Amino acid sequence: MSEQKSRPPQDRPWESGWAPETTRAPGTRRLWLAGALALATITACVTAVTVMDQESGEQENRAAEPTTLSSSAPGGLISFATPSEGGTDKAGAGRAHPSPAAVSSAPTASASPTPRKKAPKPPKASPSPSKKPQPPSSHGISIRSVNFSDRYWRVRDGYVRLDRIGSGPEQREDATFQRVAGLSDSSCYSFTTADGRYLRHRSFVLVADSNDGSSLFRQDATFCPRVWSRSGTLTLESVNYPGRFLRHRNFQLRLDPFENSHQFYADASFQIMSGLD
């Protein structure tokens, strides 16, 4: 029979002289395994958090970049239009990185057009009257210059000039006219002499001439009064040449274009007086 040694009871080492091994603490392997598992868990958590942070950063960068949608994108989405080629004359074309402009692909109601201000009317060639002219008088009249108050219209050698009128009856008769309704426009004036001739312009010079019944004559002999700021004075505008007014130059009556000057106003302003004859 093989000899079997009996193992002394371990609960009484002081009796048998046996003692348990004390070089290794009990449960050390378990502790190492638990520590390794905990370290692996912490490493995995840190790695997962890092990866999630990187993915969220990339998603934010992609969200900030402009996105171009195709024409089939559903309504209500907003896309960013890319700058058109050759659009250097548009705002922002000179910048190195033009800001994308948001373009809505959803159908929207068309905005009502902004009402435009009415364009100002062009100024009239002639000054507008400040008050209604007096109706034509049936009595003889004489016409005096404003800036030469001692000179009157007078027919001399067929032309109408500004002359000083003496006491002789012939001069006074030549400086007296009848004011009648305009031959071409009844709201305007025509002027006749004592011998029945009419005052008309010919080559823009005022003359006394017989009525030949033509339309041109009627227009040449019709002048429309325009009352200006000076009280009791008026100027006479041609019917067939709007913007030209009777004025004296070197004491000769003629039609000249309107000028916005003090000299023109003075030369073209006249005052209607009672007849000198």
Closest CA to 193 of 236, 160, 146: 160
Span 96-106, mean pLDDT? Answer: 45
Cα separations (Å) of 92 from 82, 85, 104, 229?
A: 12, 13, 20, 54
* % the chain with pLDDT above 70: 58
Give residue-wise pLDDT tens across range 222-231. Answer: 999 988 766 6
**For the segment 196-246, what is each residue's pLDDT rounded down to a tens digit?**
999 999 999 999 999 999 999 999 999 999 887 666 788 999 999 999 999
Element (DSSP H or E) covering residue 213: none
Does residue 125 have a pLDDT over 60? no
Radius of gyration of the chain (CA): 56
Q: Looking at this protein, which amino acid is placed at residue 166?
A: G
Range 145-154 average pLDDT: 95
Q: Which of the pair, 122 or 45, is modelled with greater confidence?
A: 45
* Residue spans of alpha helices (H) in the chain: 13-16, 28-64, 169-174, 215-220, 262-267
Bridge partners for 79 per DSSP? 103
pTM of the model: 0.51
How many CB atoms are closer than 10 A to CB 82?
11
**Residue 234 and residue 107: Cα distance in Å, rounded?**
64
Which two three-digit tokens encode residue 108?
A: 């929207």
DSSP conformational letter for 139:
S
With contact defined as beta carbons under 8 Å apart, do 236 and 179 qualify? no
Q: How many residues does the chain have?
A: 277
